[in-house]
Amino acid sequence: MTQRFQRAADQRISGSGLGLSIAVEIAERQQLNMRLSNRPEGGLEVRLVWQQPVIAPRASDAL
């Protein structure tokens, strides 16, 4: 499904099939989490989520 120019079976909509593969490429390059889900009204929802950086507490914060 995430390969370029690959469309799921029984698709009645036109398009080149590049959108999801571009999103995967961005997610990999930026180290993002990709979340795919079905929308209640139909269609696919894709979310690219940056992970929260883990920040170690400073020694001065413990005082």
| Structural domain contains residue 35 | yes
Per-position pLDDT tens, the chain of length 63: 555 555 566 666 666 667 888 888 888 998 899 898 999 998 888 888 888 777 777 777 655
Instruction: Specify the pLDDT at position 52.
Output: 75
Range of the domain at 24: 1-51
Cα–Cα distances (Å) from 55 to 19, 30, 42, in that order, read 34, 19, 39
**What's the first-to-final CA gap in the chain, in angstroms?**
52
| Structural domain contains residue 40 | yes
- Whole-number Å distance between alpha carbons of 42 and 20: 16
63 domain-assigned: no
User: Based on the structure, what is the number of domains in the chain?
Assistant: 1
Note whether residue 10 is domain-resident: yes
pLDDT at residue 21, as a whole number: 82
pLDDT at residue 59, as a whole number: 73
